A and B are shown apart, each in its own frame.
Chain A
């Protein structure tokens, strides 16, 4: 273990190739024994992976939970024939990009703000994290009430400045984005705490160095905070992007994919099939969603992981 690499500036990507070490020192003596995987692996494989593989078999069957009949790829054909798949696909991408983009930007800003010498820091931290504590169902109820066209607070407030607000959740043009904004409201607290952890992990020496060089606040943000909180940015992007691609719970409580099918996402289409008792079909949908998400996230993961911060 003599290689010099990976200072604090390393990105979160794969560790550099250590094959040479392994051949030199032998498998059995690694400082990072596989046994550390064991507890996580046992729980994960038994409770998650095995049932998932079992379920994937059912994607090839007509499955009523009571019995199943092998139908080959019929479910996949049916899934692609789903009438609103195109809307669902577009909506999924819009939703994921909007929510994860806003969470990264707002999370970073709030993270910086809440690690600065703000007097109300403690209070604001609690306030920002508060929506995370509220369950999705409760958030759905609350915002449905606030966004009501007649008595809702949002439209009442808009009326004060002379704007006639739309029926946010009942109108096809605003439904999806309204839900996306609420999603950001609910989820930005998580992005913020991840950023706070990231910013607090930055060694103070870097800031001192900037101070010595006479750099201002912007310089500090641009050349220290932003690049060195990269592990946080990486986590927020990956987690919220995957979350956005898979998201249906808030959509389900607030619009049920409606009006009509206008705010449907792939995940809500699958969920509806599941609700309808089409278990084989919805499993096939999940397999497809998995492939799609993987096809987007793996390159993204690779790209983000490869990127090295340059302060």
Chain B
């Protein structure tokens, strides 16, 4: 009886989730495989013809294979900036949570400011030009790090608060403090939230199109979102290709996510604090 109710409940959850979350996705997929004139209707009708291969090759080959280059660029950008965001953010959050005082108050204020104030594009360009980093990948990576740090710090800080101080103290008795305390003891304990930060900030960076457009322009440096942006107008009458592009740039991260899902969960649980 209980098992039956349970299965029923799961069924309901499954149906609701499918409708709410998968219907829009299936719309993208359907539109991506339609021919041009049918795609224009933007409705849920079953495709009358299936030019999947044609649409796929048209999008891949567009503008001299810009999409493939964009993949490489986006990967470098995402991996580079997320690695820095996680390490820098966790370190800062640790001191911020553990050590009060005027410096802490200032840091607190800066973190909130970073969340609230939209970045100023032109002065940032001036600065990067002065540093010789404008229109370079390292420059763009640093931009993404600076713009996304606050988010990571806030998340890390909230979760560090849940780590008992007794742990620090025990570690200190063993002669572990400062950087070693952080990297040896605290950071491993932050696994669940670290994975969350990795997930959320890689999505943010991967999906960002404004900053690459300003700080690393040009077809050679395009990121995947910029291709979407470029195609938007070019394909405004070719919805099938636009949605094929959307699907193509959405699926790889989705596959990665599904693939690592088990590992992600395992990682989160492994990091859980043993009371």
Contacts and interface: CB of A to CB of B under 8 A. Distances in A.
Tell me whether A and B are bound partners.
yes
B70 to A, nearest CB: 13
B54 interface: no
A142 B17 contact: no
B218 interface: no
Interface string A131-167: 1111111110111011010011100100000000000
Contacts of B62: none
A81 interface: no
Contacts of A178: none
Contact of B165 (A5, A41, A48, A239): A5
Interface in A193-212: 193-194, 196-198, 200-206
B26 to A, nearest CB: 10
A40 B161 CA distance: 19
A6 B165 contact: yes
Contacts of B268: 196-197, 200
A130 interface: yes
Interface in A28-49: 30-37, 39-41, 43-44, 46-49
Contact of A51 (B31, B124, B157, B262): B124
Contact of B225 (A6, A132, A137, A139): A137
Contacts of B88: 39-40, 43
B273 A54 contact: no
Given A43-B88, A197-B196, A239-B154, A127 B21 contact: yes
Contact of B272 (A201, A234, A235): A201
Contacts of B181: 31
Interface string B263-275: 0010011011111
Given A137-B232, A141-B242, A294-B112, A130 B89 contact: no
Contacts of B159: 12, 197-198, 201, 231, 235
B128 to A, nearest CB: 8
Interface in A87-145: 113, 118-120, 122, 124-139, 141-143, 145
Interface stretch (A15-23, A72-80, A168-176, A256-264): A15-23
Nearest to A33: B178
A65 B99 contact: no
B94 A36 contact: yes
Interface in B104-161: 104, 107-108, 110, 112-120, 122-124, 126-128, 131, 142-143, 145-147, 149-151, 153-155, 157-159, 161
A185 B165 contact: no
Given A47-B124, A52-B119, A126-B258, A1 B172 contact: yes
B116 A246 contact: yes
A201 B10 CA distance: 25
B10 A118 contact: yes
Main SS at interface, chain A: helix
B232 A43 contact: no
Interface residues of B, number: 113
B114 A65 contact: no
Nearest to B119: A48
Interface string B82-93: 001001110110
A127 B123 contact: no
A242 interface: yes
Interface residues of A, number: 109
B68 interface: no
A241 to B, nearest CB: 10
A296 B254 CA distance: 36
B212 interface: no
B209 interface: yes
A30 to B, nearest CB: 7
Given A47-B143, A246-B118, A190 B112 contact: no
A10 B161 contact: yes
Contacts of A204: 272, 275
Contacts of A239: 115, 151, 154-155
Given A15-B100, A51-B124, A120-B13, A40 B246 contact: no
B91 A37 contact: yes
Contact of B116 (A4, A41, A294): A294
Contacts of A5: 165
Given A8-B162, A294-B112, A279 B22 contact: no
A290 interface: yes
A40 B149 contact: yes
B214 interface: no
A204 B275 CA distance: 7
Contact of A133 (B42, B118, B203): B203
23 contacts: A16-B100, A34-B95, A36-B95, A44-B150, A46-B146, A49-B113, A55-B120, A118-B13, A127-B17, A127-B18, A127-B22, A129-B199, A132-B200, A148-B42, A151-B41, A198-B159, A201-B193, A231-B159, A232-B158, A234-B158, A242-B115, A245-B116, A246-B116
Given A12-B158, A18-B99, A297-B112, 17 more contacts: A8-B275, A15-B104, A34-B99, A41-B107, A46-B146, A47-B127, A47-B145, A47-B147, A50-B127, A51-B123, A51-B124, A55-B123, A65-B122, A135-B250, A201-B193, A203-B272, A297-B116
Task: Report, nearest first, the 7 A-B pairs whose CB atoms are least far apart.
Answer: A203-B275, A55-B120, A47-B146, A51-B123, A12-B158, A197-B192, A40-B92
